Chain A
Amino acid sequence: MNKIKQVSQMMRLLLQLVFIALPIISAFVWWYKPLGLHIPPSLSGYSSFVIGFIPKGLPIMHTLTVMDKVYGFLICLLPLGVMLTIIFYMIKLFGLYAQGRIFSIANVQCLKLSAITLLIWEFILQPIYQILLSATLTWHNPPGHRIATLTFSGIDMLLVFSAIVVWLIAWIMAEGVTILEENKRFV
């Protein structure tokens, strides 16, 4: 149990750091490198690793103004908010593990809400985000070159599948917790 608590505490700290760093990095990228921050292979281990929010292939035919960057960052609060929400639930989950609470309704809730958040992102927020971002960034393009894009790729299907799997796991855990609680009442 001690090992579980130690590892969980470490994960919780790591996630808290990510929770703080993510908005800062996002603001930094939007302000200084809106077209993408290229991480060199020596640091990333990949020949091409880019941190960015602008979809590949979006035709931006002008230099992004300050307001473009501000609007872009504000629109990116949608996916950022979703990520931070899921990270928040994970921080809570690992916090419970760090207390030695492995099977409880609170744990199940964290998993369930993470899955629901991901599904809300995929089906409601992501379409809004994609349309808003593409329209905003191509607004100053010449007439005939302003676009609003909406995509649903393999990665999105994978995320939806993962969210459903996590939801099912949460449901099974909830059933298990009920059985566990019932068993506790057998002396």
Chain B
Amino acid sequence: MTIDIQLDVILAQRKMRSKELAQRMGVTEQSLSMLKTGKALGVRFETLNKICNILQCTPNDIIVFSKNE
């Protein structure tokens, strides 16, 4: 059972690059990369709020719980 981050999928759907999202969020590309690759230990609500606002999506679209069988 894992938590998957689907940020790349949403970015592709919105035709937006990570760099642009990072700039609009006011974070570094490295921070965003950590989130995308699952290396982040956690996400702040503030960050999630910014992502959802910019990408016009819900947290469910970005953070997906999957049961690996």
Contact = CB atoms under 8 A, between A and B. Distances in A.
Contacts of B35: 187
Contact of A185 (B27, B34, B47): B34
Interface in A142-187: 182, 185-187
Contacts of A185: 34, 39-42
Interface residues of B, number: 12
Contacts of A187: 27, 31-32, 34-35, 40, 42-44, 47
A182 B39 CA distance: 11
A187 B44 CA distance: 6
A183 to B, nearest CB: 9
A187 B47 CA distance: 7
Given A182-B41, A186-B40, 12 more contacts: A185-B34, A185-B39, A185-B40, A185-B42, A186-B42, A187-B27, A187-B31, A187-B34, A187-B35, A187-B43, A187-B44, A187-B47
Nearest to B44: A186
Interface in A80-123: none
21 contacts: A182-B41, A185-B34, A185-B39, A185-B40, A185-B41, A185-B42, A186-B40, A186-B41, A186-B42, A186-B43, A186-B44, A187-B27, A187-B31, A187-B32, A187-B34, A187-B35, A187-B40, A187-B42, A187-B43, A187-B44, A187-B47
